[in-house]
């Protein structure tokens, strides 16, 4: 999963705020629900990736120093 660019991030927040304003104005909640489900999906994917990373770090920590003598980073050997 890649991060959003600053412009994409700002657009996403503006879309969310707009959907909230529309819902508050009584124009329905369909768009707000769609955005919330999208955010929920992204958070679930991020949580899964964090869990995988933690497991990998745990395995690396149990294995001790790298056999190659090269530093190990969170993304793997350099």
Residues 19-37: tens digit of each pLDDT: 889 989 998 888 888 888 8
**Based on the structure, what is the number of domains in the chain?**
1
Structural domain span for residue 20? 6-77
Q: With CA atoms as reference, report the closest residue to 19 among 38, 5, 34, 7.
A: 34
Residues of the chain with pLDDT under 70: 1-11, 66-78
Reported pTM: 0.54
**Residue 45 within any structural domain of the chain:** yes
Report pLDDT for 1: 46
As a whole number of angstroms, the distance between CA 32 and CA 23 comes to: 7
Q: 11 φ, ψ to 5°?
A: -60, -40
**Residue 1 within any structural domain of the chain:** no
**Residue 17 within any structural domain of the chain:** yes
**Residue 27 within any structural domain of the chain:** yes
Show the CA angle centred on residue 37, arms to residues 49 and 39, nearest 5°. Answer: 50
φ/ψ region of 3 (left if φ > 0, alpha if ψ in -120 to 50, else beta) reads beta
**Residues 51 and 43: beta-carbon distance below 8 Å:** no
**Residue 26 within any structural domain of the chain:** yes
């Amino acid at each position: 999963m890649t991060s959003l660019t600053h412009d994409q991030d700002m657009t996403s927040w503006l879309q969310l705020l707009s959907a909230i304003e529309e819902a508050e104005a009584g124009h329905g909640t369909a768009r707000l629900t769609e955005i919330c489900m999208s955010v929920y999906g992204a958070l679930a994917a991020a949580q899964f990736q964090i869990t995988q990373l933690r497991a990998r770090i745990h395995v690396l920590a149990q294995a001790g120093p790298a056999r190659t003598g090269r530093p190990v980073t969170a993304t793997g050997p350099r």
